Structure 1
Amino acid sequence: MDSPGAANDSAASTLTPLERAIDRAAHRVLANAPARGVRSVLVECAVFVLKQAWACVFGALLLVAIVAARLWYPDDAILARNDALTIAAILIQIGMLAFKLESGRELWVILLFHIAGTAMEVFKTDVGSWSYEAEGFLHIGAVPLFSGFMYAAVGSYMVRVYRLHHLRFTRYPAIWATTIVAAAIYANFFAHHFIVDLRWALIVVVLLLWGRTIMHFRVWRVTLRVPVLLVFVGVAVFIWFAENIGTWAGAWLYPHQTGGWELVSPQKLVAWFLLMIISVVMVTWVYPPRDVDAAGTDASDLDPVPA
């Protein structure tokens, strides 16, 4: 078993250089934090929120750009709003790499999110599932190029949260099996327009495959355990809220919103839940799921990890 110092070094090695600097500063600030009591709980909650905010930085910046474009971008500007959003998204991605918020290794899976998302967008807009304003030059078909970055933002969150919370799993299914299910889910997003919709059958498969999987994630001193399916549902709900903000801002519209903004149907939660499966599987190609031992801990649980 590794020593506490070696374990902590192992955890820090998954971080980018900037994150390691933040990690060291956080350790100094929290060095005298109480180990028990109400203050300890508050520290754990604060660290959890900060880690989640840090993991969401790509998506948060993109959402801010979308809302700002709705509120303040002039309608008569020479550069179309959608093109401005595409340029803003590109600059955000460049900034993520320049400031070492993402590694080159992670960029590959984020790029895969981008490609898969854009392909789905082109098809879905063609069949009328949703629509964008017909403006600008930076688009493929009826899809402005910034839309792919919305999927990339999900990918960015997934890969960042994996290492920030030092995720470990109990009874995680085989990668080959999860890859097959993810491919079937992605295919169904297209095929259900022509044949029977298999989403409910796919959900049953997902429940059977991941139903016994437990996710272990480090906050500060505490390692929490939660059914991974519950995590999928939670992230899907969060994305649904973000989707409502995006449609309110006019980034895209569903057919029932063309006469005036309305809440996105809660039925979209099913689609986002299934998208979570695709997202998680893609991330496992970069960060293969790591098991915990029979006691429910591993050597890296001996010391606090990044705050």
Structure 2
Amino acid sequence: MSGLGIAAVVRPLPAFRRVASALVQLLRFAWLQIQCCLFAAAIFVGLAVSTAVPLPVPRYDALLVYGLALTAAFYLLRLETGREVAVIFGFHLVGLALELFKVQMGSWSYPEAAWSKVAGVPLYSGFMYAAVGSYICQAFRRFDLRINSFPWVPAAALAVAAYANFYTHHYLPDLRWVIAAGFVIVLWRSRVTFTVEARSYAMPLSLSFVLIGFFLWVAENAATLLGAWQYPDQGQIWQMVHVGKWGSWALLVSLSFVLVAAVKTHEGRFYGKAGAAPTVTSNQRPS
């Protein structure tokens, strides 16, 4: 083989190695994401099985018992710490409060009968919100998440405003886009660093909220298909959830993130680069 022929074979090898390495990293990233979604995946397994298997009690009641057992199992298996379970339970209560209001307003409904329904809301529904908190807790651990800076006061205020807007927009102008713009502004310099197999990557924190919100919207479509709840336009035949819910989930993620971040700050696993000691700047809350 001539020298030119050998060079033609050798030259593509570095590019091939880079592509192969990128694909391997992508697979590692996907595997970590799957592990972060264990609680949410288990909830969906429960939804799917409960639609196909005859149960001795109403379906929503069985899902409540299943969710409680799942939470206990995650704690006993040390998949989540006591602090994480507490903050996830807090988000569960936040979600239940929203459910009670939204069902009364006719935003969506739970058509099946159950003993554990309060004002039309089955208590198992809070586990949908708990799954979001669980995902963020797992992501902090498995991706070794770190935030370079976080303006606590404005970010927490916007998170509370986003939650309040879910209630007030029924009576007052809807401010979700104003609040979303506020998040982009106050988190402009905030970057989240995550690690995949000793390699660190970074992305804007506000973008991570948007991406998580998208996947929650996809999950919501699957959940309504499985009869977890239904929107008014899904009463006769199932159809996709309106894409506007994507933005609603992205805003709700902000509240979940603030709750989990408070725990991670206390643990010293919030600021700085992966593996680095935490640092606190003037606009950050001390641990």
TM superposition score normalised by structure 2: 0.85
Check conservation: 2:156, 2:258, Cα contact below 8 A: yes
Aligned position for 1:97 = 75
In the TM superposition, what whole-angstrom CA distance separates every residue of 1:97-152 from its partner, at most 9, and x where no partner exists? Answer: 12111110111110111000000000000000000024110122111111001100
Q: Which has the higher contact order (CA 8 A, sep 6+)?
A: 1
C-alpha separation between the residues in 1 aligned to 2:166 and 2:247? Answer: 12
Match of 1:219 in 2: 196
Q: Are residue 169 (structure 1) and residue 150 (structure 2) matched?
A: no
Q: In structure 2, what is the Cα distance between the partners aligned to 1:113 and 1:298?
A: 28
Which residue of 1 is the match for residue 50 of structure 2? 69
In structure 2, what is the equivalent of residue 149 of structure 1? 127
CA root-mean-square deviation: 1.6
Distance 1:37 1:221, change over 3 A: farther
In 1, the alpha carbon distance for the partners of 2:138 and 2:275 equals 21
1:41-72 CA-partner distances (Å, limit 9, x unpaired): 343223211211111100000011112222x1
Aligned to 2:103: 125
The residue type equivalent to 1:202 in the other structure is I
Listed one character per residue, the Cα deviations across residues 56-95 of structure 1 (whole Å, up to 9, x for unaligned) are 100000011112222x133xx5411111111111111111
- Which residue of 196, 217, 225 corresponds with 1:248? 225
Identity across the alignment (%) = 37
Letter in 2 for 1:47: R
1:202-241 equivalence runs, <5 A: 202-241=179-218
**Structure whose alpha-carbon radius of gyration is higher:** 2
Counting only pairs closer than 5 Å after superposition, residues 263-302 of structure 1 correspond to structure 2 as 263-288=240-265, 289-292=270-273, 299=276
Structure 2: any 5+ residue segments left out of the alignment?
A: 1-16, 278-287
Q: 1: distance between equivalents of 2:26 and 2:232?
A: 40
CA distance in structure 2 between the partners assigned to 1:298 and 1:121 by the alignment:
39
SS in 2 for 1:251: coil
TM-score (norm 1): 0.80
Distance 1:115 1:122 in 2: 11
Shift of 1:38: 4.5
Unaligned 5+ runs, structure 1: 1-35, 301-307
Runs of 4+ in 1 over 6 A off after TM superposition: none
Distance, in Å, in 2 between the alignment partners of 1:274 and 1:119 is 16
C-alpha separation in 1, matches of 2:116 and 2:244: 31
